[in-house]
Amino acid sequence: AAQDARAAGLSLGFCRDLAIGAAPDGAESWSRAGSFVDGFSIGAPPDAFSREGQNWGLPPPNPIEMEKSGGADFAELLRANMRHAGALRIDHVMGLARLFVIPDGERPAAGAYVNYPFETLMGQLALESQRAQCVVVGEDLGTAPWGFRERIERADVLSYRVLWFERSGEGFASPTHYPKKAMACVSTHDLPTLEGWWAAADIAEKEALGLIAPDTAEAARAARRAEKDALLDALRAQALIDGAHHASSDFNDALARALHAFIARTPSLLAMAQLDDLAGETQAINLPGTDRERLNWRRRLPESIDSLLDSRRAPAILAGLCRNVDAIAGAYRPPGEIDAADGHERFEHGG
């Protein structure tokens, strides 16, 4: 896949994703038992995104062993994942500094944060990314330690900026609000798809699964209607849509194109589209905080990639992404090599 991507002319090529942990019954946990802590799982505390918090069912790495070894296991993991990749997205990059740890059998509210050897792990990340000449994107959504985002920015790890979360007052932030050292996108695998967000399908699913009460769901639908108006205002301010679009209108290809043209106008070095949005899916591939309640990560795309690119929605999104962006090969350099005064912009699209 990496060779095919490079042969097709993509300067970054294959982008891989590094998960936050290892399955408790997997080969990594079995072969390196001393590198993990038994009796606990990592997750997230209760917040506005998940009122009960989240338990990811993954054993936490042992921070003491990490410090003793100088992050050797982490370095080996990076080497394996960067071997064929031009870019690597690190899930929950805040885990380099701290993880929320929950005792087995307890609710997330009973958990606490545990600190990790950030400087040691960042040193290994910088070293391995230089060796592999691999771009690093840190998924830094959610609650981060004080000063964390500034620290990874200084290390030239790209931030992760999602349109749904980039706000200014009651509205959506303009493209100029986005930082340069970032990857911009409309949504993620843990959030509603474009079609789903517009139709409030995510709210309906949470209500059906009992994750939110009916009165909470109704309040969320009212808030979503206001958010749709604010989003349309942001698109009109960029002259990306006309007055024919309203919050009560059905989602369409023109809106999909406009939303991706919006993030393409940001100064962020990378912009990304989701395969689920190219396919017009209404349900997210994953719903955090669920396990057996739904088929997370198991839904297949409705058609092949080749067929998908011949549909109406995918070309509209790709046209939006390319609308105002000059693809400049080699504009991004791995952590430690970016000059803050560098005026280049960089773009890739991926799923």
Residue 23: strand, helix, or coil = coil
The reported pLDDT for the residue numbered 1 is 75
| Helical H segments across the chain, by residue range | 2-7, 27-31, 63-69, 72-82, 118-132, 148-154, 194-199, 201-208, 214-237, 253-264, 275-278, 305-309, 313-322
The reported pLDDT for the residue numbered 13 is 86
Nearest to 21 by CA among 36, 1, 5, 2: 36
The reported pLDDT for the residue numbered 342 is 39
Per the CB < 8 A criterion, the answer to whether 221 and 200 are in contact is yes
What tens-digit pLDDT sequence spans the chain (351 residues)?
778 888 888 888 889 999 998 999 999 999 988 899 999 999 999 887 777 888 999 999 999 999 999 999 999 999 999 999 999 999 999 999 999 999 999 999 999 999 999 999 999 999 999 999 999 999 999 889 999 999 999 999 999 999 999 999 989 999 999 999 999 999 999 999 999 999 999 999 999 999 899 999 999 999 999 999 999 999 999 999 988 889 999 999 999 999 999 999 999 999 999 999 999 999 999 998 788 889 899 989 989 988 988 888 999 999 999 865 444 333 444 565 543 333 333 333 343
- Neighbour count for residue 309 (Cβ, 10 Å): 12
Task: Name the pTM for this structure.
Answer: 0.86
- Each as own residue / partner, the long-range contacts of residues 234-242 (CB below 8 Å, 24 or more positions apart, any chain) are 234/171, 234/172, 234/173, 234/174, 234/262, 235/259, 235/262, 237/174, 238/174, 238/175, 238/262, 238/265
Nearest to 56 by CA among 25, 101, 16, 93: 101
Length of the chain: 351
Per domain, the residue ranges of the chain are 1-157, 158-178+188-326+346-351
The reported pLDDT for the residue numbered 8 is 84
CA 259 – CA 200 distance, rounded (Å): 17
The reported pLDDT for the residue numbered 6 is 80
> Which one-letter amino acid corresponds to residue 136?
V
